[in-house]
Amino acid sequence: MQYASDTTGFKKRSKGGSAFFAPRFVEDTWILGFGYSLSQDEIYDVLDIYQDQIPETTLRRSALNTRVTYDTRDFKWDPKRGTENTFSAEFVGGPVGGNVHFFKPTFTHSLHIPTLTLGKHTLVLSNALRWGLVREYRSSNPVPISDRFYVGGAETVRGYAYTGEIGPIQGGKVFGVANIEYKIPLLMEGRFTIIQFALFADAGGAWRGTKDVNLNFGRSLNNLKAGIGFGIRFKTPAFPIRLDWGWGLHHRPGEAINQFNFTIGSFPYSLVPLFLFPPFLWGVSVSKAQIAPKRGAVIATIDLERIFQAYPGTKKAREEMEKLILIKENEIAAKRAEIFSLVEEIALLKSQAVQPQTAATDQSGPPASLFAQNQTGASTDTLTGAATSQALPGLNAAPAPAPTAVLPAVSNPQIEQKEALLKTKKEELKRLERDAEKNLESLEEAKTKTLLAKIYVAVKELAEEKNVDMVVDKNAILWGASRLDITEELMRRLKTAMIERE
């Protein structure tokens, strides 16, 4: 699988095998499945900018799978009525081996409702809900990025790239997706649909954890994002083919607002029998930005990758961001030092509370150890039952009750007070780390918007001077070339503008 791009950041290579047993019950409406899979996944060719977030590694993945499905659909590839509900769980590692260990439950619901029938043509409203969670058994073994959830693309929220535009670039540990389609048959053969038109709306998100889930729509990392669009479906004797055009409604500046997707399989899952196709067709899905110039338009190109590398504002913004990160790291380190100091104090206080002070001295009298021994009136003969009574000069000769333990140097309320303070400090540390991450993300997004705005202004001014109708990124052109490349002029203008404005 090729994922290495400026929005995906890595490539993945997998090899292995699996076996799954899924008998059907109660007139084929219930399916209970069990299986086992063993694979080796290699993450490689990670882009330099994502090296800290996505490690290059080789994973040995051993997993037990279970699934329960209730399915009343009338036709699996093109249902007109019925519902499907599936709960599945994957147990990876632990007693079954491998070097990754986590638990991954998912839930899927789909419902198909016939709304209108015109002769042989039935218009169908379909919707789907999906939810998933993945959690490691131990924090020392994080979930690999290849087993996290990615939202975007043909199978989830159309109008967005597979990764990098919805949720964290390294994948989420929680995800939720909702889809709705209105399907209109255009060509029928008997009771089967051959060509079908569809309108759709999708929404979803991926998050680092349950605490980060945000069900408000927006453009930030933790917000839900939505897309709308239309598509054409072709039914062949073996499998359906989908062509979808999706527009994202919550894109950040610089992202392509629409995507084209080609997929084998029915929505919301492309479950084509894999034995029918060679490996290079498994899960085929491609996307590209849509460009629709008017006839006779003058098109100019720019090399955006080269501009971002040479743009002086980019380097300065990165340096400023690194300084801010260093400041936040120092604040967090100081708070951790306070917690470490408190932990040491509490340990010392507890030690003093449970250990007798055999070496403590009283300034107004003899050594405490000698005083304790003579107050009990016991010598070494006490071990044999022959105790002798002694008294020190100037003290009452009557023996006092023998203390079983010397009182602690501090009282329990002092320890409780320190522990309460420690708990408060730990909560402050968590809050500081969480706020620092959110603030840095907001600052980075604001700086990115500023840089892109300056590039946009410069491109617009240059295009007006050159009487250009459209400016596109030369790296996004699938075929053809423009005779007018304005990259050099744009770089000179940006350099001058940045010297004047910064």
pLDDT digits (tens, 9 = 90+) for 355-406: 654 444 444 444 444 344 444 444 434 333 444 344 444 444 444 444 444 4
Higher pLDDT, 342 or 285: 342
* Residue 216 pLDDT: 94
Task: Label residue 108 by pLDDT band (50, 70, 90).
Answer: very high
pLDDT(2) > 90: no
Backbone φ/ψ region at 190: left (φ over 0), alpha (ψ -120 to 50), beta: left
Burial label, 432 (beta-carbon count in 10 A; 0-12, 13-18, 19+):
middle
Task: Label residue 468 by pLDDT band (50, 70, 90).
Answer: confident
* Residue 453 pLDDT: 65
* Residue 218 pLDDT: 93
pLDDT(275) > 80: no
Which is nearest to 414 in space by CA: 339, 350, 335, 344?
A: 350
* Residue 311 pLDDT: 60
* Residue 390 pLDDT: 43
Enter the tokens of residue 36. Answer: 């086992």
Residues 253 and 408: their CA atoms lie apart, in Å, by: 65
Enter the tokens of residue 117. Answer: 């029938």
Residues 32 and 208: their CA atoms lie apart, in Å, by: 31
| Domains, in order of start, for the chain | 11-290 (2.40.160.50), 319-354+371-430 (no CATH)
pLDDT digits (tens, 9 = 90+) for 384-397: 344 434 444 444 44
pLDDT(234) > 80: yes
Indicate the SS3 state at residue 38: strand
* Residue 248 pLDDT: 95
- DSSP β-ladder status, 225-235 and 121-133: unpaired
Mean pLDDT of the chain: 75
- DSSP β-ladder status, 484-485 and 121-133: unpaired
Residues 249 and 201: their CA atoms lie apart, in Å, by: 10
Backbone φ/ψ region at 245: left (φ over 0), alpha (ψ -120 to 50), beta: beta
- The proportion of the chain whose per-residue pLDDT surpasses 90, expressed as a percent, equals 27
Residues 6 or more apart in contact with residue 76 via CB below 8 angstroms? 266
- Average the pLDDT over 414-425 and give the result: 84
> Cβ distance 285 to 153 under 8 Å?
yes
* Residue 270 pLDDT: 40
Sequence letter at residue 284: V
pLDDT digits (tens, 9 = 90+) for 445-467: 555 556 666 777 777 777 777 77
pLDDT(224) > 90: yes
pTM: 0.53
